Amino acid sequence: MRISELSSTTGVPVATIKYYLREGLLPQGHATSRTQATYDDTHVDRIRLIRALTESAGLSLARVRVVVDALTDPPDRRHDLLGIAQEAATPDPVTHASEQWTNAARDFIERRGWQIRPADPLIALLGTQLSAFVDAGTELGDGSALDAWADAAEIIGRADLSTVPPEPADALRQVVLGTVLGDPIIATLRRLAQQDASARYGSPDSPPDRRS
Amino acid sequence: MRISELSSTTGVPVATIKYYLREGLLPQGHATSRTQATYDDTHVDRIRLIRALTESAGLSLARVRVVVDALTDPPDRRHDLLGIAQEAATPDPVTHASEQWTNAARDFIERRGWQIRPADPLIALLGTQLSAFVDAGTELGDGSALDAWADAAEIIGRADLSTVPPEPADALRQVVLGTVLGDPIIATLRRLAQQDASARYGSPDSPPDRRS
């Protein structure tokens, strides 16, 4: 198909498609003359992936490039593919973690028995986030809340992995979109579950409503 | 104390404190003359709360006002206080949920047996988020992933409630900050748990590392 048809099929303007081509996010078409090229279904799929990552998941083009590079040259091990998808799906920390908090995060991960690369940037990110939580004077219930959150994360992580399809392009798409678009769903479920817990186990001044 | 001392104690500029006074976020001081007033520890605490909500949790002043109004006139039931804290801690949806997706969210909540007010805006928010997830072509594993997320949310919700102190001001602070600052921690724990699950239960082309 011509670029005009690629545009009408995907609903993405020609100028945007040309931008993706220049940026190397979309492979070049098959040249039919010095100024014209044809495109096929792989281009349609790639444009839909870029739109899903940028529009639905709100990823920057720099993060989309990480995903696209991985598709062009997929890693041998599926576990490495997960790492790449996570890299795209994880925000850069606003501030850097202190060594003390990074160590606290590392100790926590070790105590959970989680198999994480020692240099994984998620460890420092967790340190930064824990530090912000504690610095704000917020209670972690002597750490028992953090352990409950980790128990919950294990359930979520196993469920996430179970939805990942075998083909590398589909797997990358699922992990990136499922992680980025899943986070707000989990945050909302958390608030709903807080309400349910409050109605169900609330203190005496908050009698639970009768179940229907 | 004078406003200058209130400023040095809290590290917040006098101009900002005057802004909080004008906006009604901070109660007026005790007037000692037509142009001067003194302030006490309740003002220090309130300023620290406002800073924690705006700086650590990234809340808008409109959302801070919801919290502050609840502190000035606390609801009788703790369950209502939770609702107010959640209102402040929950983003407005970017788009509105279709009736179809709101109903799907309501059905899911009902099937879980969660005690949620029928008009709670979290229901429509969940519908919007589920719709974005499915529209992006992301897999929910026939809904089993969503049920696993809800199981996890129940663990998180119970843990969250267990950290809420009895005094209304402390309780509001804990729920708002614990919810807003806890979300990114839970998102990071999720990614770490995905990696652990991949290392532990990965497909045969991804042999798990030996545990030490």
Give me the DSSP letters along B107-160. HHHHHHT----TT-HHHHHHHHHHHHHHHTT---TTTHHHHHHHHHHHHHHHHH
Whose tokens are 């059905």? That residue is B107
Q: Report the pLDDT averaged over residues A88-110.
A: 87
> Which residue did the predictor score with more confidence, B145 or A168?
B145
Confidence at residue B203, expressed as pLDDT on a 0 to 100 scale: 55
In whole angstroms, give the CA distance from residue B18 to residue B3. 9
Verify whether the Cβ–Cβ distance B185 to A130 is below 8 Å: yes
Confidence at residue B106, expressed as pLDDT on a 0 to 100 scale: 97
DSSP B73: S
**Chain B: nearest CA to A4, how far in angstroms?**
24
DSSP A30: E
**Chain A: nearest CA to B26, how far in angstroms?**
19
| Most distant pair of Cα atoms in chain A: their distance | 79
Strand partners, B44: none
Verify whether the Cβ–Cβ distance A82 to B195 is below 8 Å: yes
- Mean pLDDT, chain B, whole residue set: 88
Confidence at residue B210, expressed as pLDDT on a 0 to 100 scale: 43
Model confidence band, residue A94 (pLDDT cutoffs 50, 70, 90): low
**pLDDT at A69 > cutoff 70:** yes
In whole angstroms, give the CA distance from residue A194 to residue A149. 13
Residues of B within 8 A of A128 (CB-CB) are none
Confidence at residue B94, expressed as pLDDT on a 0 to 100 scale: 65
Verify whether the Cβ–Cβ distance A115 to B195 is below 8 Å: yes
Radius of gyration of chain B (CA): 22
In whole angstroms, give the CA distance from residue B70 to residue B176. 12
Q: Which candidate in A194, A196, A200 is best for mutational testing of the B interface (most B CBs within 10 A)?
A: A194
Angle of helix A41-51 versus helix A14-22 axis, rounded to 10 = 90
Residues of B within 8 A of A183 (CB-CB) are 183, 187, 190
Confidence at residue B206, expressed as pLDDT on a 0 to 100 scale: 45
Q: Which residues are CB-contacts of B100 (< 8 A; sequence separation ≥ 6)?
A: none
3-state secondary structure of B37: strand
**pLDDT at A210 > cutoff 70:** no
Q: Which residue of A has its CA nearest to B163?
A: A141
